[in-house]
Amino acid sequence: MRRARLTWLVVLVALLGLLYAVWAWREVAPPKPAGSAAVTAVMSGDATGFTRALGPRAFEFPADHGPHPDFRQEWWYYTGNLETIDGRRFGYQLTFFRFAVTPEAQVGASAWAVRDVYLAHFTLSDIAGEDFHAAERTSRTALGLAGAQAEPYAVWLEDWHAEGDPHSLTRLQAHAGEVAIELELRLTKPLVLQGDGGLSQKSAAAGNASYYYSMTRLDTAGVVRVGQQTFTVRGLSWMDREWSTSALDKDQVGWDWAALHLDDGSELMYYQLRGRDGGVDPQSRGVLVDGDGGVLSVSAEQVQWQVLDHWRSPRSRARYPARWRVVVEELGLELELTPALADQELNLSFRYWEGAVTVRGRRGARSLSGTGYVELVGYE
Amino acid sequence: MTRLLWRASWRHLTAHPWQLALTLLGVALGVAVVVAIDLAVSGALRSFEWSSQVLTGRATHQVLGGPAGLSEQVYARLRLDVGLRDSAPIVTGEVRPAERADITLQVLGVDPFAEGAFRPYATGGGEDSLSGLLTEPGAMMLTSDTAARLDLHVGATLSVRVAGQQRAVILVGTLASDELTAQGLTDVMVMDIAGAQNLLGRSGTLSRIDVALPIGPAGEAMAAQLRALLPHDAVLLPATAVTQSLTHMTDALRFNLQAMSLLALLVGMFLIYNAAAFSVVQRRPAIGTLRALGVTRGEIYLWLVLESCVVATLGLVLGWLLGALLGQGLLQAVVNTINDLYFSLTVSRVALEPQTLLKSAVLGIGAAVVASLRPAWEAAASVPRALRASSLETTRRARLPQRLLVGAGVIGVGGVSLVAPGQVLWPALVGVLAMVAGYAWLVPAATVGLMALLRPIASVFGGYAGRMATRGVTTHLSRTGVAVAALAVAVSATLGVGLMIGSFRHTVDGWLQHILRADVYVAATAGAGLPPELITELRAAPSVVAVSTGRRIQIQEANSRTEVWVLDPAPASRTGFRYKHGDPTQAWQAFVEAGAALVSESYAFRQRVGVGDTLRLRSDAGVREFAVAGVYYDYGSDQGVVALHRATYDRYWRDRVVASVGLYLEEGAEVAATMAELRDRVGAVHEVVLRSNRELRAAAMQVFDRTFVVTDVLRLLAVLIAGVGVVGALAALQLERGREVGVWRALGFTAGQVGAVVTGESLCLGLAAGVLAVPLGWVLALVMVHVIQPRGFGWTMSFVAEPILVGQALALSVTAALCAGLWPAWRMARAVPAAALRGE
């Protein structure tokens, strides 16, 4: 009798302990970054009153390096792979997003009235240290806290900057916690207008498109700081510029994007838009930029995008593809992409995986290697 | 053995339910007053502190600006140049709903993008409401409770008054938070910072910047680094500085009210003592028997004290319930007082805190134990199978000379404690309590004397009934003495506080007449300044010969908050100042020409500065020193005021706001007509408040009177408790004298005659208490005026006695005693003589 009671007591205590553990585990789940609710609110805004990307346009530089306030969203997207002289590898991402909250700002004397909100993501993949650092910032443009301009070229959010002359030298600067980058990016190939002369159709519906151009090869040099250590690095960066009002269709759940620097001097970029049913949208496409700057467009039918492995995030429990075989038969291209670190998930105001990858493969008879960045959006 | 004793207790208490009820009531009322005051005062402040904590959020420090506000560029610098990420800009202010003048909404303007880590509730209202908050003009969020109180649903517009203008705000969502946080957010209106700046007309400036620094040396180093970077007009303070200095302001008020509540408990103690003593008297035969059965003295002593404890515990629970009700009732009065005197505060409800319960339990049970010690000791000291009650009366009266000595001794100690030099308040209050206790000790002896004096007069007017009544009081001194003492203490407190308030009122009225020199006052509505063109217009108005302007600002520093009165005087303003220290001519000259400060008496008292000293103030140009040229009388703020000439102020501060203007009219000008004319001229363009000298004075006196509402309630409560004491004493007498009354009736007394004797006794008790209360009340008033007020608030007051108060005190005492005696008289008159005599 006594013993039975004791057993029950033990079971009860164990159950309570379990409940507590579950509860405590829930508690330690990383909090959303500051202002995340505000960001979500901003991104879920209404598209009425904004211009849509309906047809090709004549790009004008340097004006188009600056903001396009008529469109609802816009980004300046820097990614790159870096290496110290003795081969220690890093990947970085520095992205500035502009979201318009409303076509017309509130009237009033206050300088704080919100029209555009800037959001920036900065990541550093410390490959040797097997560490991934990600940080987010958000700000309105009031008081010059954040903004973008064409001349002189500058995009900034507080003291994270990209500035200089995009056609020659751009300086990037960002820090968060114990990591920081200070880099100089030199453009070595002409700009590439993506899609149809810069109009990148994202789904069949008119207006579900963006204006999109890239700087595919930027020689990069500078320093990376991790804690007390400073590393002098060199490498290659990629820069994407895109602005739109409405891009994805409601049946599209996300996209995979890759931009690769190959050691034969060429770059391959490819994105595929994924539908709710798991299928790939026919609007998915990419480019191959040759060493001399020649651009070849590739369509979805031409590309085999094969997932070889998966990785599950311990934080979000989301399952991401983790290794790929990419084949473009018409170009004789056969590549295998491996994440440099498994965990390069940004669990910020919005969650996605974006990280450095290592490339091995061949083009025709020639074996190739390279580095690149892959972005995976919309995985649960 | 123990069981036997407890059964004896049970039998005794259940056999005398009225007596038990009176003891319970004594404890309950005493405890109730303590709980009520604690609940209302501490509850209001706790709720204020909680609300401040909720509004401060995770901030450890705040960057504050000067009176003109903090330039928002300081924030941009912190973010862009210093890279201080854990910082959030805040714009605050107050608005009133146009239809609900009783509600003040605190505007909290935040930047949701900088905000999340500081105040999660401010950005947690859901996506729709947040984007509404950012984009809709006048968008705001409230807690659902506040929205319901204003009868608002999401999407509804609310018309508010701000700085004299009517503006519309729109509820775009409710603040999502737990219930506790929501309580702290009562009447808080969260807006986007742009909306708040636009609504309050404060573009370009912030109220503060919230900063979260790490705790420990790293944080201190960062704080030092930040301080070095801030402009002169900005200061980095701990986040708690403002709240703490505000709550400290109320220290004296809190202390005074708590002292008053302790007085009520003291009066309650008399009641408990009375009941305990009587129960011992009643049980003397039983106790004698118990002793004969072998119960030791120690056991008897412990038993009776424990019995008191048990009864007190029951009374305590009752007291908590009563106190909670009373506290809710007093809350609004306390909140009004704090609003009038110190800072604006909204409290919708307060909860009984464990510490209040604990404190009142210790006080209530402690009082019961202390009150029962002596009766228990007396019972324990009696010999087995001892004598009847009368022997106690004899010993008691025999001990009178001894009591006189003890009483005089305690009064002496109290007096010493009172006159002991120093600025600390509590020895003075201890002194007052000692004096009251010592005086109470003397009351029985004085009652015997008074009755002897009264007897000839009573026999003239009341015949044998009068004689019997006066004798009855003396014969039953063990009962009546305590009742008279309780009533005398309660009435003297009423009289003393009444005389003090009267003196205070007189002093303040005199001061107002003196300091308000202008004929007409024009003030901006809350939160705004007077436009310069209006001032020019007023200067030029016909029959205006001179103009003075005023502005009051608060300068916050780490541990204090200083009120500065910025005055641009008219020639006649000069005579408004009456000086406690300093030569009037020199002081004025230094004030006008040499940039010196005049400080109010309470400022000089609190900051320990005098003429010739210098004081330091944080100005927009950094910390500056000002010579003190004079100390003037002022009763407007117990925190003290520093008066600066406008020219001096303008030299060191950027703020150019003028909040009020005093107009001096030409000789013989008709004030009412001039005001009507001014209203016509400026009223259509500017929203301002125009008041004549007399109206302003009346308004000030109204505020004065409102601050004493709580005190008045406490006075009445003390008298009520004493009244219960008289009922108890007389009821006890009646029970005890059942046989005596039986004998009277057997001798031929009619019921009416018995009633007359008992009523006569009540009258005698009331008279004795009233007469004895007058000297004590008078002394209390003198002590409060000359010792407590100067030490508590730094105010010099003149003692002005209103004789009518003495008459009122006597009337109160007699009325209370008569009312309390009605029921015992009726019971005694109705007693059946045969039943009463059956015991013989």
| pLDDT class of A20 with cuts at 50, 70, 90 | low
pLDDT at B394: 55
Is the ipTM higher than 0.90? The answer is no
Nearest CA in chain A to B81: A159
Instruction: With CA atoms as reference, report the closest residue to B717 among B265, B319, B364.
Output: B265
CB contact under 8 A, B127 and A44: yes
E-strand stretches of B613-725: 614-619, 622-632, 641-645, 660-665, 688-692
Distance from A32 to chain B by nearest Cα, in Å?
9
What is the mean pLDDT of the segment spanning A213-223? 95
Say which residue, B267 or B363, is predicted with more confidence: B363
Distance from B175 to chain A by nearest Cα, in Å?
13
Q: Is A109 on the interface with B (CB under 8 A)?
A: yes
Quick check: A308 pLDDT over 90?
yes
| pLDDT class of A34 with cuts at 50, 70, 90 | very low
Q: Is B72 on the interface with A (CB under 8 A)?
A: yes
Nearest CA in chain A to B135: A106
Q: Is A117 on the interface with B (CB under 8 A)?
A: yes
pLDDT at B631: 95
Which of B130, B136, B203 shows the shortest C-beta gap to A111? B203
- Summarised one tens digit per residue, pLDDT across range B764-778 is 888 999 999 999 999
- Summarised one tens digit per residue, pLDDT across range B689-721 is 888 988 888 888 888 888 788 777 877 777 777
CB contact under 8 A, A109 and B198: yes
Which of B80, B113, B198 shows the shortest C-beta gap to A117? B113
Distance from B49 to chain A by nearest Cα, in Å?
25
Chain B partners of A111 at a C-beta cutoff of 8 Å?
Answer: 72, 194, 203-204
d(CA A149, CA A160): 14
Domain boundaries, chain B: 1-57+248-387, 59-238, 526-686
Quick check: B418 pLDDT over 90?
no
Task: Tally A–B CB contacts below 8 A.
Answer: 108
CB contact under 8 A, B131 and A41: yes
What is the mean pLDDT of the segment spanning B476-483? 78
Contact B326, B721 (CB under 8 A): no
Which of A109, A114, A137 shows the shortest C-beta gap to B135? A114
Contact A327, A302 (CB under 8 A): no
CB contact under 8 A, A35 and B137: no
Q: What is the dihedral of CA B56, B57, B60, B66, to 10 degrees?
A: -20
d(CA A282, CA A273): 8
Nearest CA in chain A to B131: A41
d(CA B608, CA A150): 62
Contact B622, B234 (CB under 8 A): no
Nearest CA in chain B to A118: B113
Structurally, chain A folds into a number of domains equal to 1
CB contact under 8 A, B194 and A36: no
- Summarised one tens digit per residue, pLDDT across range B39-83 is 888 878 877 887 778 777 788 889 988 888 899 999 998 888 888
Kindly tell me the sign of the dihedral angle through the C-alpha atoms of A301, A303, A306, A312.
negative
Give percent above pLDDT 70 in chain B.
Answer: 94
> Which of A57-61, B547-551, B754-758 shows the lowest per-residue confidence on average (mean pLDDT)?
B754-758
- Phi/psi for B681 (5° steps) reads -70, -45
What is the mean pLDDT of the segment spanning B362-373? 82
Q: What is the dihedral of CA B443, B444, B450, B454, to 10 degrees?
A: 130
Contact A233, A254 (CB under 8 A): no
| pLDDT class of B307 with cuts at 50, 70, 90 | confident
What is the mean pLDDT of the segment spanning B823-838? 73
CB contact under 8 A, B131 and A42: yes
Q: Is residue A23 part of a domain?
A: no
Which of A36, A108, A117 shows the shortest C-beta gap to B194? A108
CB contact under 8 A, A40 and B127: yes
B454 CB contacts (<8 Å, ≥6 apart)? B470, B764, B767, B768
Mutate to test the interface with A, among B84, B86, B123, B134 (most CBs of A within 10 A): B134
Q: Give chain B's mean pLDDT.
A: 83
What is the mean pLDDT of the segment spanning B748-756? 83
Say which residue, B360 or A32, is predicted with more confidence: B360
Give percent above pLDDT 70 in chain A.
Answer: 87
Query: Taking a contact as any Cβ pair under 8 Å apart, which residues of chain A between 329 and 358 contact chain B?
Result: none
Q: Is B48 on the interface with A (CB under 8 A)?
A: no
CB contact under 8 A, B80 and A40: no
CA atoms within 13 A on the CB side of A209: 21
Identity of the amino acid at B570: A
Which of B76, B123, B137 shows the shortest C-beta gap to A144? B76
What is the mean pLDDT of the segment spanning A185-197? 91
CB contact under 8 A, B115 and A38: yes
Determine which helix (DSSP H) or strand (DSSP E) holds A226, and give its type and residue range.
Answer: strand A209-226
Q: Is B205 on the interface with A (CB under 8 A)?
A: no
pLDDT at B759: 85
Identity of the amino acid at A36: S
d(CA B344, CA B330): 17
Strands B614-619 and B597-600, by their bridges, are unpaired
Q: Is residue A16 part of a domain?
A: no
Which of B72, B111, B131 shows the shortest C-beta gap to A101? B131
Q: Is residue A295 part of a domain?
A: yes
pLDDT at B386: 47
Strands B105-110 and B188-192, by their bridges, are parallel
| pLDDT class of A324 with cuts at 50, 70, 90 | very high
Q: Is B135 on the interface with A (CB under 8 A)?
A: yes
Contact B91, B196 (CB under 8 A): yes
CATH number for the domain harbouring residue A260:
2.40.370.10
Say which residue, A262 or B418, is predicted with more confidence: A262
| pLDDT class of A3 with cuts at 50, 70, 90 | low
Which of B72, B131, B201 shows the shortest C-beta gap to A143? B72
E-strand stretches of B583-687: 597-600, 614-619, 622-632, 641-645, 660-665
Contact B170, B138 (CB under 8 A): yes
- Summarised one tens digit per residue, pLDDT across range B174-227 is 887 777 778 888 888 999 999 999 999 888 999 999 988 888 888 888 888 888
CA atoms within 13 A on the CB side of B359: 19
Instruction: With CA atoms as reference, report the closest residue to B260 among B315, B334, B189, B312.
Output: B334
> Which of A44-53, A143-152, B143-152, B487-496 shows the lowest per-residue confidence on average (mean pLDDT)?
A44-53
Helix axis angle for B751-783 and B709-736, nearest 10°, is: 140
pTM over 0.80: no
- Summarised one tens digit per residue, pLDDT across range B163-173 is 777 899 999 98
